[in-house]
Structure 1
């Protein structure tokens, strides 16, 4: 889905649900789309404020993110400690996440075999899935390499 089409559908969603249609909400969509796939709301607020302080207040960003979640363009994807990471999913195919607990790197992946297995399990239990997410927490190759290098230096010292 193109960004302009998303905005049109979001405007319809706002009208149907009795929410205000403001220029700021649509400017926030533009900012989120250009920010990157994953974000915490507070870092998004700081980034938007650094871009242009006239766009929106902190509360407007929070409200707009919540409305975009209800609309389905943003979803909460990762709870890591006291952090909540969101993802701009509009127009993106379904995927899963690998999360490095050392550096916070998020790696997206898709495996048809996982999807087929989930469908089979749901079918076996006569269960109708509505949504799912898979998060695998571990250590990325960069952090593993750094740990190995640090150990090597300690032993060699």
Structure 2
């Protein structure tokens, strides 16, 4: 089954480590603050990209990027929006099994049994002491439907990305 690459807050920086970590993904979701079309072009050379516009995505190139997006992959509906606070404004989120957000630059994982919420962290320039990371969503066959496993990838040799995989 496929792996979905999750990346956010690149802020116009595409790290070689990020490209290497995403190699082999069936698709990629960028959860906003892309800050330049070159980032999306680099990711698109790896796999199809679904991107949402973040608060720092401005200008003509960003106007065509939606505020929210939905992707179906291997029987899983994935909803993406930049800021988790905006999730409630979009009824499409209610049908998602996975919700991907960015904005905080903090890797995070929460599962309430119905919805798996993932913030892959920031793959762009370091902000404060936060880790530089992205996430991989591994989708595998399961007895009750697709099984999901999240793997956070440390991109900058930080001591630890402070989120355990599920």
TM bin (shorter chain): under 0.3
Richer in strand (by share)? 2
TM-score computed with the length of structure 2 as normaliser: 0.26
TM-score computed with the length of structure 1 as normaliser: 0.27
Q: Higher Cα Rg: structure 1 or 2?
A: 1
Does 1 or 2 have the higher relative contact order (CA < 8 Å, sep 6+)?
2
Richer in helix (by share)? 1
